[in-house]
Amino acid sequence: MKLLIINGPNLNLLGTREPEIYGNRTFESYLMELREMLDGVELDYYQSNHEGDIIDALHEADCDGIILNAGAYTHTSLAIADAIKGIQVPVIEVHISNVASREPIRHVSMIGGVCQGTIAGFGLKSYFLAAQAFIIE
């Protein structure tokens, strides 16, 4: 099985940005652990702060499933939602924090309705849970 993780804007700052919400671990350090936990799964990773680059990554994805943390674009991007609708690869939306317990703007997901499902609020473990959802399918 081959999975692709796509992280959106500001997720390159994990470990230093708002550690009280997102923790103090970088994604790269977690990714190494995640690859070990998902032995036998080919796990690719892409991060961009640019909406169009995320859309291109969705369009070009050659994998069995996409784990997408679109960051703030979750709440604003019809373009990313349309890109998800336009591809055949299933997408699971993930969030590190529990977006339902945060500011009201974060309660609305523009992409959730076109994703296979959403996992939120389990910290970096949200990515592992999304991978597991693809594996046990």
Look up 73 and say whether it is catalytic. Answer: no
Calculate mean pLDDT across residues 37-50. 96
> Residue ranges of the alpha helices (H) in the chain?
19-22, 27-37, 51-60, 78-85, 125-135
Look up 95 and say whether it is catalytic. Answer: yes
Given 22, 30, 73, 127, the catalytic residue = 22
Is residue 2 very low, low, confident or very high in pLDDT (cuts 50, 70, 90)? Answer: very high
Q: What CA–CA distances, in Å, run from 9 to 36, 82, 112, 130?
A: 26, 18, 17, 20
pLDDT at 16 over 70: yes
Is residue 17 very low, low, confident or very high in pLDDT (cuts 50, 70, 90)? Answer: confident
Given 30, 73, 95, 127, the catalytic residue = 95
pTM: 0.93
Is residue 19 very low, low, confident or very high in pLDDT (cuts 50, 70, 90)? Answer: low
Is residue 97 very low, low, confident or very high in pLDDT (cuts 50, 70, 90)? Answer: confident
